[in-house]
Amino acid sequence: MRRILVVFFLTAAVMLFIFNSADWYAKNAALPRYCENPTQAVEIVKEILTSEAPGEGKKRRPYIVAAKLIFLVPQAQGETMPQYLNRLRDRISQSCGVAY
């Protein structure tokens, strides 16, 4: 029984460390990348989520970068597209320290 508790607590500690590390990375390394041109990133996110064939005939890199933003700041359940895009802008502004 004691071994099970030790394994449980070690697993819980490792998981907390991983989640906290991922959150730190998102705040300090990943999101600041969008400070250079946040308006373009938000527009591409909108196109990815609403278009049937986003980025067709265009360069792929901006769309891959914007897709990562969707992963870092996911749309909440029941959140409309305008609400999500506003929250996304606010999150980028908060990360950059500038209002957009």
Question: pLDDT means per 10 residues in the chain (100 residues)?
Answer: 90 93 76 81 89 80 85 89 92 78
Which pLDDT belongs to residue 60? Answer: 82
Instruction: Return the residue matching tokens 């999500």.
Output: 84
Domain interval for residue 87: 2-96
Report pLDDT for 72: 83
Which amino acid belongs to residue 34?
Y
Distance between CA atoms of 94 and 62, rounded to whole angstroms?
21
Number of Cβ within a 10 Å radius of residue 35: 15
Per-residue model confidence (pLDDT) at position 73: 86
Q: Are 76 and 15 in contact (CB under 8 A)?
A: no
Q: What is the pTM of this model?
A: 0.68
Counting the structural domains of the chain, the total is 1
Instruction: Give the pLDDT of residue 100.
Output: 66
Region of residue 51 (phi > 0: left; psi between -120 and 50: alpha; otherwise: beta): beta
pLDDT for the residue numbered 17: 94
